Chains A and B, each alone.
Chain A
């Protein structure tokens, strides 16, 4: 077991031990946001047949060559083809066919004249323009050819993918299973939110914030409850989570009580890979793996430390389990609105609010940075990375910020 790893080494150890969830097949209509576990190839052409891009008239260009407003050319309307209609009857020379948008173009026709460029009494049509070759015709297979690999394995399924899968005749699709995350808190002082906090008791908020973090990343949290500070109770709670893919406990892993948690972890067959990461907040992080069982994360008990270690270490593991290739938050380079200082030795994650100013993104501290001050997590739109050996980031300097809040990229302007 290693102790006091740097953040990058800790992350590497975690991701090395993290598998990818096996696939499951689900209805396409349920697949939004899931990660594709198969490459999707097309067994058909899209569009399946040449079809009209306009309401108008299918013609043979030779019949209307040189047509104009001054010199219109009149043709009989031989038949009408609605969308989804039958276009097996060829268009003979000297004929026009009424055609609607999306309808298949009949054999023999080599252009569609849009309705606005014609005049018609219902039986005959006067063509007022001379169309160019295949004008207003969408070619069969112009979007997708048979055998095309349309969506790669590993794609995150968005609305466009759902529509394409349906177009390809797929009603079900293979995606990676979502990981189940068993959550428990430890501490005699902890109570549920609807219980009395008299006598120095504290609401066990971590299970709630951690469950929300699980859901936000597409994992399924399972709450195991609060374990009391006895080895027996902690062991019982941990054992209840052995069937999960990931087991996350919070509290009980600080220097003072780590030995007893370590004993329990060993007892349930957890090989501890490391304890302690050189970050702030959140040094006392434990990571291990149970052979044939879940990954095990012991997070610190302070509300911000628990969320921060989840964010930096559990979330990427859950992304990997879920089949994602990109495991981390988007980052931006932000200009500091104020000078930040710290001691060297640990990488700090500074909770910041973000705003756009001129062409820059400006980062400002999101209030009290204590590891117990949860309010800052309600305000933080990003986490500013303050490198471990740096001691000062000066006002006006640029630093990397992990963007937590998708809403930061939302806009009040339409962009057009």
Chain B
């Protein structure tokens, strides 16, 4: 319970940072937001990283640990609708205070400031999404609130829940290939942790890599 709330505040005043914690965590067998990584719950780790970059930090959905509410961060509930990533994204865009919204799912504990800053700095599009050999990472992406919210909300209401469909329906830019390698040379930032085995592999992988630059934790 004794949580120091002294994380450095970010400077990107026009960007909100969102940790999505509302996933069902079925394959993990426990709430991924609480999964400790380097001694901190995943949600807190990502919230601290975001708080180092932006002023408006949100955690959306689920029951993240209190410690994830770093200075100034706020926890908001999901909007009504079927439990899915699209609902989390809509909830994030509804509650964000700025037009640019960085969304990071809580199962990406190795995400780096370099990758997030690259998403922010990419030439303007409705969405900026990393794409690698594993495909598109719609839950580690930058969204522009106004154009995306209307489309995403409508798709949620219609039951068109696939995020891929949303990305196809809006102006989406992709960071991939060399551009992605430049900001994530070790190829770890988008490591998705859905199962205990993936968690163990991610921990091993991270232990081999250099410390995260700019990680306020």
Contacts and interface: CB of A to CB of B under 8 A. Distances in A.
Interface stretch (A22-30, A201-209, A376-384): A22-30
Interface stretch (B72-80, B116-124, B168-176): B72-80
Interface in A115-172: 169, 171-172
A68 to B, nearest CB: 47
B42 interface: no
B75 A24 contact: yes
A171 B66 contact: yes
A220 interface: yes
A345 interface: no
A240 interface: yes
Contact of A24 (B3, B76, B93): B76
Contacts of B69: 25-27, 171-172
B209 interface: no
A243 B97 contact: no
Given A169-B1, A240-B146, A27 B76 contact: no
Interface in B179-194: none
Given A24-B95, A177-B95, A220-B97, A172 B146 contact: no
A243 B1 CA distance: 36
A180 interface: yes
A243 B146 contact: yes
B145 interface: yes
A26 B73 contact: yes
User: Interface residues of B toward A: which range?
Assistant: 20 to 34
A73 interface: no
B74 to A, nearest CB: 4
Nearest to B58: A24
B149 interface: yes
A39 to B, nearest CB: 18
Interface in B108-158: 145-146, 149
A172 B75 contact: yes
Given A172-B66, A180-B97, A30 B71 contact: yes
Interface string A1-45: 000000000000000000000111111011000000000000000
A49 interface: no
Nearest to A29: B5
Closest 6 CB pairs between A and B? A25-B75, A24-B74, A26-B74, A24-B76, A27-B69, A172-B66
20 contacts: A22-B77, A23-B77, A24-B75, A24-B76, A24-B95, A25-B69, A26-B74, A27-B5, A27-B73, A29-B5, A30-B72, A171-B3, A171-B69, A172-B66, A177-B74, A177-B76, A220-B97, A222-B97, A222-B98, A242-B146
Given A26-B75, A27-B3, A243-B145, 4 more contacts: A24-B76, A27-B72, A29-B5, A220-B97
